[in-house]
Amino acid sequence: MSKKKPCELKGTAGAIAAIPYREPQQADNHCLEGSWDLHTHSTFSDGEYTVDELIEQARACGLARLAITDHDSVSQLSFIRDRARALDFPVLAGCEVSAINPKTGKKVHILAYGLEATPDGSGPLERIVAQTQYLRTANSLWQAWRLKQANVEFSGKHLSIDEVCEVAAQSTSVYKTHIMQALTGRPKNDPDYQFCWDVFFKKDGIAARSIEYPKVKKVVRAIREQGGVPVLAHPGQKDSWSAIPDLIACGLMGIEAYHPSHTPDDVDRAFEAAERFGLFVTGGSDFHGRYSSAPCLGTAYLAPQEATERLEALFEIEQTLQ
């Protein structure tokens, strides 16, 4: 029996694929007022702000629509949808999945929209991200232990693993950013924070150790199998352009054109890829609060006139999801 093609799958992905494709066009002028920030993070992963706080900030800065895309987790989607409806603000509840491209050895991030969690966490994507969460938390706690064993200090303060766990209490995983917050109390852009990060976690640092990430083609297939819509995140930042043809074959449906790390050439290249491969475009700030480089929501965004019918339909379908 032959396998179904991605476009034949049911769920949100099937509904979006059924909409006639229209090429996205770059807007001549961009204005934050009324724009869409479709890539942000909350306290469910490594963000500083809660879902309610992100929605409040989005409304205050003039955004018209928002997506909250926490790392490697699906369990929070229903909560995000409930809060968005209670606060009467259009929000896509999604996630950002960490992966690896075996051909290049480089990390690739995939945004997933239009998903629903299963009652027992047995969905194709849920099984993948559960493993990533487990490995990440174990590794981060090992890193914290290594730093504590080395008796590192920052401005006279020593690391407390209990405090790391307190900082990470609302998250689905423990991250290096939680370790740094517990130790330094400084934002990511602080020079001393950056120095310590590099010394501890980079190259031959005392806590330099990574985890094994799932293969990116497997991730895209899993998102589609669970009914979701996969979008390639910040290809300029990760230099993941070469992965696009393989990911198209697996069911990739969108590409993030606007991101704080993207140059004008990256934006143009993303729009060109969208035209060539039949993708819609998105954009977002990748905002994590004090834990990221983006100073605020809307640092990067999609102008509403750049959204195609497929992206519009995502927000309509969102209202029917649990």
Taking only the tens place, the pLDDT of each residue in 142-180 is 999 999 999 999 999 999 999 999 999 999 999 999 999
Residue 6 has pLDDT above 70, yes or no: no
| Predicted pLDDT of residue 293 | 87
Instruction: Give the structural domain span for 307.
Output: 32-117+228-318
Quote the pLDDT of residue 8. Answer: 53
Contacts of residue 289, Cβ cutoff 8 Å, sequence gap at least 6: 47, 48, 49
Residue 44 in this model has a pLDDT that exceeds 70 = yes
**Contact partners, residue 204, CB within 8 Å, separation at least 6:** none
* φ/ψ of residue 65, rounded to 5: -145, 160
Query: Quick one: average pLDDT of 261-286?
Result: 98
Is 192 within a domain? no
pLDDT the model gives residue 9? 65
Percentage of the chain lying above the pLDDT 70 cut: 97
Output the pLDDT for position 29. Answer: 86
Q: Is residue 79 part of a domain?
A: yes
Q: In DSSP terms, which residues pair with 66 in a beta bridge?
A: 37, 91
Give the pLDDT mean for 75-82.
Answer: 98
Average pLDDT, the chain: 96
In a domain, 99, yes or no: yes
User: Does the residue 300 lie in any domain?
Assistant: yes
> Is the residue at 251 inside a domain?
yes
Q: How confident is the model at residue 4 (pLDDT cuts 50, 70, 90)?
A: very low
Per-residue pLDDT averaged across 6-30, rounded?
87
- CATH number of the CATH domain containing 77: 3.20.20.140
Backbone angles phi, psi at 254, to 5 degrees: -150, 170
Average pLDDT over residues 187-191: 95
Q: Is residue 24 part of a domain?
A: no
Task: Give the residue-averaged pLDDT of 127-146.
Answer: 98
* 171 part of a folded domain: no
Q: Is residue 22 part of a domain?
A: no
Domain count, the chain: 1
Reply yes or no on whether the pLDDT at 259 is more than 90.
yes
Per the CB < 8 A criterion, the answer to whether 224 and 17 are in contact is no
